[in-house]
Amino acid sequence: MISLETKTDFENITDDIIKNEEFLKLKEEVHHGLSRFSHSEVIAKKVYKIAKAKKLDVVSATRGALLHDFFFRSEFSSTVELFITHPNSSLRNAKKHFKLNKKEQNIISSHMFPLSLEMPRSKEAWLVTYIDTIIATKDFFYKYKVDIKKYAYLLSFFFIKVF
């Protein structure tokens, strides 16, 4: 019989982050129509599943994914500044509270590539960048009730014209 207190691998990997007093404040920060805490948790769970299936560094990928948006709106004077530089704030905040390896640091600092100039240097960093982009885009479409099919058509037309 399995105890109710048995933690999953995901919980073992993320427990110290999810219980951190400062990280819990992200529940009050709105991000893509939900809390930044929830957004980060969704990204981390998707990344965890894919990293495990692809036999990647599950621990670094999951922890980096969970910490990729560990910033607060009050740290920025404008939306443009927030949009482009929040990976640096996220990394700074994560380093204050957690011991991070080089891969986790790169995952956090590069998750907005190419908008942030830091390039992902591992499969795990590319995975977080990809999953975050997909989920943030989906959340944006849902929040603003944008017709995804219509937008995809316009976007593909734009790429055909440009390339």
- Per-residue pLDDT tens digits for 66-116: 999 999 988 877 777 777 789 999 999 999 999 999 999 999 999 998 888
Residue 4: inside a domain, yes or no?
Answer: no
Looking at the structure of the chain, the number of domains it has is 1
Domain residues for 29?
9-162
pLDDT tens digits for range 21-31: 999 999 999 87
What pLDDT does residue 144 have?
56
DSSP E strands in 11-159: the ranges are 30-31, 34-35
Question: To which residue do tokens 């019989």 refer?
Answer: 1
Residue 1: inside a domain, yes or no?
Answer: no
52, exposed or middle or buried, with CB in 10 Å at 0-12, 13-18, 19+?
A: middle
Instruction: Give CA–CA dist 10/116, Å, rounded.
Output: 28
pLDDT tens digits for range 143-154: 655 565 555 555
Residue 150: inside a domain, yes or no?
Answer: yes
Residue 53: inside a domain, yes or no?
Answer: yes
List, in order, residues 6 or more apart from 5 with CB less than 8 Å away.
Answer: none
Residue 73's CATH number? 1.10.3210.10
